[in-house]
Chains A and B, each alone.
Chain A
């Protein structure tokens, strides 16, 4: 018996552990992959959405541009409206800022609070951003507003993905 190295008891233990492990993983692995699916799905790059804002109409004053697009959420498709704050900076370049406060995701508004003229103001926790979207020090946001990628389509403004900016 001792020559063989493996006792009957050990052999049965190993076999049962192996079979048990196989059965447990065969049950659990598909479930884990099932639950983690949103993590592993590859998303196609979203296309540009053409807004109804003419490039020539954009001034140096930020204006709110709403634009609608088809959004797919799993099995549910719907038309969603998104917002951008658009203006031309001193160099004449178009800037399209995301209105989502970088603090906790509320919507900022341009020049609506009398106390803070010509600032992007977030009503939730008094977050402030200057016109170029930079967060004002001493207010809750820790980084500037995100920017939309944008291009011109037949004289109209088209907006693409939202890109975060590093501290500028």
Chain B
């Protein structure tokens, strides 16, 4: 049955070469943990991507209950965690996944750094990777405010103070991000929500696409 559906589509759209390009290629021996166990270090990039997928999925489902509003945000988080079936699991996935994604990304970066895999011709991919790093930190930062508890509020106040200390444009930057020159409030949480849920994920997906296209184009770096 599945085969027939595939053939029906393939006959019309010729998707087999496309599929080959994306997924049908050999994994070189030196990156295959089945050959050399130490090659597990090559897994961190893929693990980061795997966790990013989990983050996007769990985030989509959290958004079914979450409200980015100072009166209701905390209540909605409390409700989705304690009243909704599996709420604790979904929120925990997103909560712990956020930290784990940063950890995995950092390990991936260490591997690339210490193997010198960023060297010519892969400099551009390193740069895109660093941009991904910043976007991920931005996601962690904006997501931290959304539960709207004391920890979130004061962590964000500290963050905004740090942003304010940027030379020359610091104060404007702070107002632009917080939505108000003094208050961390209604306008801040809606801004952070929009950035966390729409702007940064869009940027992240674009950068990840670039990251992967460059890997496919250049191939993975050779054995040490």
Query: Could you list which residues of chain A lie within 8 angstroms of chain B, going by C-beta atoms?
Result: 35-36, 38-39, 43, 71, 73-76, 104-106
Contacts and interface: CB of A to CB of B under 8 A. Distances in A.
Contact of A39 (B70, B175, B186): B175
A76 B70 contact: yes
Q: How many residues of B sit at the interface, in one of the four size bands?
A: 10 to 19
Given A38-B175, A38-B176, A38-B180, A73 B185 contact: yes
Given A104-B161, A105-B157, A73 B176 contact: no
Contact of A73 (B154, B157, B161, B187): B187
B172 A39 contact: yes
B185 A76 contact: yes
22 contacts: A35-B176, A36-B176, A38-B176, A38-B179, A38-B180, A38-B181, A38-B187, A43-B181, A71-B183, A73-B180, A73-B183, A73-B186, A73-B187, A74-B185, A74-B186, A74-B187, A76-B186, A104-B158, A104-B161, A105-B157, A105-B161, A106-B154
A36 B176 CA distance: 6
Contacts of A39: 172, 175-176
A74 B175 CA distance: 13
Contacts of A105: 154, 157-158, 161
A39 B171 CA distance: 10
A43 B182 CA distance: 11
A127 to B, nearest CB: 13
Contacts of A76: 70, 185-186
B163 to A, nearest CB: 12
A38 B181 CA distance: 8
Given A38-B187, A39-B172, A74 B158 contact: no
